[in-house]
Amino acid sequence: MNSARLLAVVLSFLYRLVHRAFGALKLARRDAFAKDAEILVLRHQVAVLRRQVGRARFTWSDRALIALS
């Protein structure tokens, strides 16, 4: 892997990690009802997407973030 590609991958991973951290901070400030409502909506979205597409293709950084959660 050349250095430009490696830098792009590292920056992509760092961006996703920071984005996820800020999302967690934002979620911590919400009340329980808002969290429950969002979870229900997201579960419905996942169910709809699973009906529309085949198997998901994850990047290595997606897998790392899923493993961290």
pLDDT at 3: 85
Q: CA-CA distance, 58 to 67, in Å (whole number)? A: 12
pLDDT at 4: 84
The Cβ of residue 18 has, within 10 Å, a number of other Cβ atoms equal to 10
> 17 with 65: CB under 8 angstroms?
yes
Q: CA-CA distance, 60 to 54, in Å (whole number)? A: 19
Q: Give the DSSP H/E element, type plus range, for residue 52.
A: helix 32-52
- pLDDT tens across the length of the chain (69 residues): 688 888 889 999 999 999 999 888 887 777 888 888 889 989 998 888 888 877 777 888 888 877 876
pLDDT at 54: 74
pLDDT at 19: 92
**Whole-prediction pTM value?**
0.43
